[in-house]
Amino acid sequence: MDPVSILLGGLASGMVLFIVSVGLSVTMGLMGFVNLAHGGFAMLGGYAIVLAMRHWGVGFLPALALAFVAVAALSVVLERLLYARLYRASELDQVLFTIGLVFVMTATVTVGVGPETQVVQLPEWLRGQTDLGFIKYRTYSLALIVSGTALVIVLWLGFERTRFGARIRAAVDNRRMAQSLGVDVGRLFAVTFAIGSGLAAVGGGLGAEILGLDPNYPLRYLVYFLIVVSVGGLGRVTGVFYAALLIGVLDFVLKIYFPKGGTVFIYVLALLLLLWRPQGLFGKRGA
Amino acid sequence: MRISKIWKYSLVAASLAAFAAAAPAQTVKVGVVLPYSGVGAEFAQQVDRGIQVFMKLNPKAFGPYKVELIKRDSKNPSGAEAKTAVQELIAQEKVDILTGFIYSPDAIASAPLATEAKKPMVIMNAGTAWITNLSPMISRVSFSMWHSGFAMGEASTKNLKAKTAVIGYTDYPPGKDSLDAFKRGFEATGGQVIDTIPMGGPGQVPDFTPFFQRAKGKKPDVFYVFVPSGDHAVAVMKTYNALGMRQAGIKLIGPGDLTPDYKLQGMGDDAVGLITIHHYNADLDNPQNKRFVEAWKKDYGPTATPDFMGVQGYDGMAAIAHAVVTLKGRLDPEKTLDALKGWKFNSPRGPIMIDPATRDIVMNEYLSEVVKSGGRLVQKNIGTINAVKDMCKELKEGRCK
């Protein structure tokens, strides 16, 4: 088997992990809220894309943008009404609340749309194979690699290099101090939460080709999201990126050579990495 | 409260007295165990609808006897929830007969309970070959993995002229069954299996890319894939095409689980050319099937389609109706099994029979190719093998002895 296509496959599977988890690295990693409903927002995003494409004939890329906006808007409502009350609650309360929210979302989608899997119809230019000159490989995998890389650059610039990002980090580290310096923490958190949920929606849509999309999506992939974010280290978008790539590539290569191990590798890898660095690969010590 | 109860009893007594001379209105309790929620919810919906369509199309099938369906959710494929449900159906609901069972682990876990409590169990899906050997109370109206697997192995060498094969399978009992069945059929007719790849479990759809990449590297003539019908199948089609395996000259083949009728249109042109073998597809050309599909679409909408699980629900109900009528509404366990053994029926999938020796189904297998016709995908019949038995028990393979 040629190593290049194995590497590309591994990178693509890492990118899927990154794209679907990055929203969580914002809400849980940056804001410190144990948001187990992350997958719910991802699922809603996926459904928004599928339904918009099916009923309104919207193209794939506009549908992605639409899903981002729609889910972000919905999440602001939820954040103001529900999440905001639990920012200072115990982690257990946050867990119970967000898991409950997942059940509500799953049931709503099952009743409203049906239990069956939805297929995201990719545009022609994302299907089949692309000739890179030296190798032909799955177009969608290449697209995932490109979009994942673009996403991490944008997020890194946004959170590490802008005033907005600095405010968020300040507010998370010391809410009262940030407030007394004139930062409107409530609004800031609402916006950040909306971005995180919007990213989840985009992840749900982009990842659906590989991960599928149905009402059980949020719980099925919950473990994946949590693994990636915890291995990456809380509070670091770039950490999540590297963690996803590392796990994705290793998992892919192991599956090719030892398929008998099946789906176990990802858990074993996470376990070993966390034993080695409990704070995550790129987490701050003591964080 | 008291008075109304007395009223009720006297009414019951009166009606009993009135009908005693005619036929007593027996109510047969049927326990239906299906994964109504969770990964298998779509399968449960198929089987459940099959049951409903049977009741609707054949209102007189049960004669004067009343049938009450008591439905329980078996949730995930582990078998544990199904076992609890069966326990409750037997102990509390006092059902006369058990049916349903999508996943093999569900049927495997429930079999000892059926034996102990002497409750006949009509399996509407679970396809691991040796399940019927687990309890004398079991009969199966669905299939064994060997029905399609063995037949596909033979068809691959004979019809498709394949010499080498790679097998990819979902790693759980029916997957291993299908692997063994195909391998046996393929190698018996001169083919050679060059690699077998386990591809994760049934609980969730994996990313098939690494497994398919490995298969592609081996360059076989055919790539035989067994995965649970439904979402796994859709992902298989996508990955096969996205990795350019078709262009590499590798034919994707498998049992009809790869082409569930209700997913077929959603697979798009990716599925064209796919060759499968199965006991049912919605495009089968016979009057029973026309009637069945028509009734289905009338009730569940023009885009809804029955698939093999739908027809198994239909046939399972037909089998139960046969037992109820034969035994005049009293489902004595031994006599029920006697009534089911050798039962023949003109199903939408063609003629079927319960083999008296094995209590497993005997039916036709249809080799079909997905083609585009009139803007939609249809399964074109390219060969029929009549009256196929479960080859695992015929050949006394492994646990089928």
Q: What is the pLDDT of residue A287?
A: 41
Same domain, B346 and B369: no
Cβ-Cβ contacts under 8 Å, A127 against chain B: 241-242
Question: Distance (Å) from the C-alpha of residue A116 to the closest C-alpha of chain B?
Answer: 6
A131 and B CB contact within 8 Å: no
Q: What is the pLDDT of residue B22?
A: 45
**Residue B11's pLDDT band (cuts 50, 70, 90):** low
CATH code at position B368 = 3.40.50.2300
A90-140 pLDDT, tens digit each: 989 999 999 999 999 999 998 898 877 888 888 888 888 888 888 888 889
Question: Distance (Å) from the C-alpha of residue B205 to the closest C-alpha of chain A?
Answer: 7
The least confident of A224-233, B22-31, B52-61, B342-351 is: B22-31
Judge: A259–B211 Cβ closer than 8 Å, yes or no.
Answer: yes
The rounded distance, in Å, linking the Cα atoms of A135 and A43 is 34
Cβ-Cβ contacts under 8 Å, B305 against chain A: none
Same domain, B159 and B170: yes
Chain position carrying tokens 């028990």: B393
Q: What is the pLDDT of residue B270?
A: 81
Question: What would the mean pLDDT of B11-27 be, rounded to a whole number?
Answer: 55
Q: What is the pLDDT of residue A262?
A: 65
Please state, in angstroms and as integers, the Cα–Cα distance from residue B143 to each residue in B87, B187, B309, B348, following that order: 25, 22, 10, 15
Cβ-Cβ contacts under 8 Å, B237 against chain A: none
Contact predicate B129/B390, CB 8 Å: yes
Same domain, B154 and B42: no
Judge: A115–B41 Cβ closer than 8 Å, yes or no.
Answer: yes
Q: What is the pLDDT of residue A230?
A: 86
Question: What would the mean pLDDT of B353-373 be, rounded to a whole number?
Answer: 95
Q: What is the pLDDT of residue A22?
A: 87
Tell me the two tokens of residue B13.
């007594």
Same domain, B241 and B305: no
The rounded distance, in Å, linking the Cα atoms of B89 and A85 is 44
Indicate whether A210 pLDDT > 90: no
SS3 B388: strand
Judge: A262–B199 Cβ closer than 8 Å, yes or no.
Answer: yes
ipTM of the complex: 0.77
Same domain, B15 and B134: yes
Same domain, B265 and B323: no
Q: What is the pLDDT of residue B2?
A: 54
B293-328 pLDDT, tens digit each: 999 999 999 989 999 999 999 999 999 999 999 999
Question: CA nearest B178: which of B395, B392, B394?
Answer: B392
Neighbouring-strand partners of residue B192? B164
The least confident of A192-196, A223-227, B81-85, B323-327 is: A223-227
Judge: B268–A115 Cβ closer than 8 Å, yes or no.
Answer: no
A128 and B CB contact within 8 Å: yes
Judge: A128–B242 Cβ closer than 8 Å, yes or no.
Answer: yes
Indicate whether B23 pLDDT > 70: no
- How long, in residues, is chain B? 401
Q: What is the pLDDT of residue B6?
A: 59
The rounded distance, in Å, linking the Cα atoms of A209 and A119 is 8
Judge: A128–B268 Cβ closer than 8 Å, yes or no.
Answer: no
A123 and B CB contact within 8 Å: no
Of the residues A2, A120, A255, A267, the best mutation for testing chain B's interface (the one with the most B CB atoms within 10 Å of its CB) is A255
The rounded distance, in Å, linking the Cα atoms of B155 and B359 is 26
Contact predicate B201/B153, CB 8 Å: no
Q: Which residue has the higher pLDDT, B4 or A239?
A: A239
Q: What is the pLDDT of residue B1?
A: 47
Q: What is the pLDDT of residue A64?
A: 94
Tell me the two tokens of residue A106.
């799953």
The least confident of A196-200, B5-9, B349-353 is: B5-9
Judge: B242–A140 Cβ closer than 8 Å, yes or no.
Answer: yes
Same domain, B109 and B20: yes
Question: What would the mean pLDDT of B269-298 be, rounded to a whole number?
Answer: 93
Q: Is B385 exposed, middle or buried (0-12, 13-18, 19+ CB in 10 A)?
A: middle
Average pLDDT across chain B, whole number = 90
Judge: A136–B213 Cβ closer than 8 Å, yes or no.
Answer: no
Q: How many folded domains does chain B comprise?
A: 2
The rounded distance, in Å, linking the Cα atoms of A52 and B378 is 27
**Residue A286's pLDDT band (cuts 50, 70, 90):** very low
Same domain, B170 and B108: no
Q: What is the pLDDT of residue A61?
A: 93
Cβ-Cβ contacts under 8 Å, B235 against chain A: 212
Chain position carrying tokens 């930062």: A183
Please name the residue ranges forming H helices in B268-375.
287-300, 308-326, 333-340
Give the global pTM.
Answer: 0.79
Out of A184-188, A209-213, B357-361, the most confident range is B357-361
Q: What is the pLDDT of residue B5?
A: 62
Q: What is the pLDDT of residue B26?
A: 73
Question: Distance (Å) from the C-alpha of residue B316 to the closest C-alpha of chain A?
Answer: 23
Q: What is the pLDDT of residue B319?
A: 97
Question: Distance (Å) from the C-alpha of residue B266 to the closest C-alpha of chain A?
Answer: 7
Q: State the pairing for strand pair A129-131/A136-138.
A: antiparallel
Cβ-Cβ contacts under 8 Å, A6 against chain B: 213
Q: What is the pLDDT of residue A1?
A: 64
Same domain, B165 and B55: no
A28-77 pLDDT, tens digit each: 877 788 899 999 999 999 999 999 998 998 999 999 999 999 999 999 99
Q: What is the pLDDT of residue B20?
A: 45
Question: Distance (Å) from the C-alpha of residue A134 to the closest C-alpha of chain B?
Answer: 16
**Residue B8's pLDDT band (cuts 50, 70, 90):** low
Out of A20-24, B235-239, B279-283, the most confident range is B279-283
Of the residues A5, A106, A256, the best mutation for testing chain B's interface (the one with the most B CB atoms within 10 Å of its CB) is A256
Indicate whether A142 pLDDT > 50: yes
Q: How far is CA B279 from the centre of its chain?
A: 9
Same domain, B341 and B237: no
**Residue B9's pLDDT band (cuts 50, 70, 90):** low
Packing angle, helices A222-232 and A38-56, rounded to 10: 120
CB pairs under 8 A between A and B: 89
The least confident of A161-175, B39-53, B303-317 is: A161-175
Q: How far is CA B258 from the centre of its chain?
A: 14
A5 and B CB contact within 8 Å: yes
The rounded distance, in Å, linking the Cα atoms of A248 and B33 is 38
- Residue B74 is part of which domain span? 2-143+287-359
Comparing alpha-carbon positions, the chain B residue that sits nearest to A10 is B210
Indicate whether A84 pLDDT > 90: no
B117-142 pLDDT, tens digit each: 999 999 999 999 999 999 999 999 99
Same domain, B201 and B310: no
Q: State the pairing for strand pair B138-140/B121-123.
A: parallel
Roughly how many angstroms between the first and final C-alpha of chain B, as a whole number? 59
Q: In degrees rounded to 5, what are phi and psi of residue B95?
A: -70, 160
Question: CA nearest A224: which of A36, A34, A27, A12?
Answer: A36
Tell me the two tokens of residue A54.
């099916």
Same domain, B211 and B85: no
Judge: A138–B242 Cβ closer than 8 Å, yes or no.
Answer: yes
